[in-house]
Amino acid sequence: MIETTIKLNTPKDVTEFVKLASKCSGEVYVCGRRYIVNGKSLPGIFSLDLSEKLRVEFHGNVPSEVKESMKNYIVSEVVN
């Protein structure tokens, strides 16, 4: 599992994040203060408070192209 903290500032950021997350074969969870949503779900992520930093958990394989593109949103990273 890879755990990271991200910040999505615009609706375009959310759309791009979902596209990237959808390329992952495993589960992707995005956690706000009170809710955990599917990181591959556009409505799910828009239901979170985007003014806050979000915790993301990647379970399974994360393609290198996704890791590279995610750098645009990462605030901090923890590898477990």
CATH number of the domain that residue 11 is part of: 3.30.1340.10
CB half-sphere exposure, 29, CA atoms < 13 A: 10
The residues, any chain, with a CB within 8 Å of residue 67's CB and separated by 6 or more, are none
CA-to-CA dists, residue 48 to 4, 14, 19, 64, 67, angstroms: 16, 11, 17, 27, 22
How many domains in the chain? Answer: 1
Name the CA dihedral angle for 7, 9, 11, 12, rounded to a multiple of 10 degrees: -90
Residues in the chain predicted with pLDDT less than 50, given as ranges, are: none
Give the domain extent around 73. 2-79
The residues, any chain, with a CB within 8 Å of residue 35's CB and separated by 6 or more, are 47, 48
How confident is the model at residue 45, as a pLDDT? 97
How confident is the model at residue 78, as a pLDDT? 58
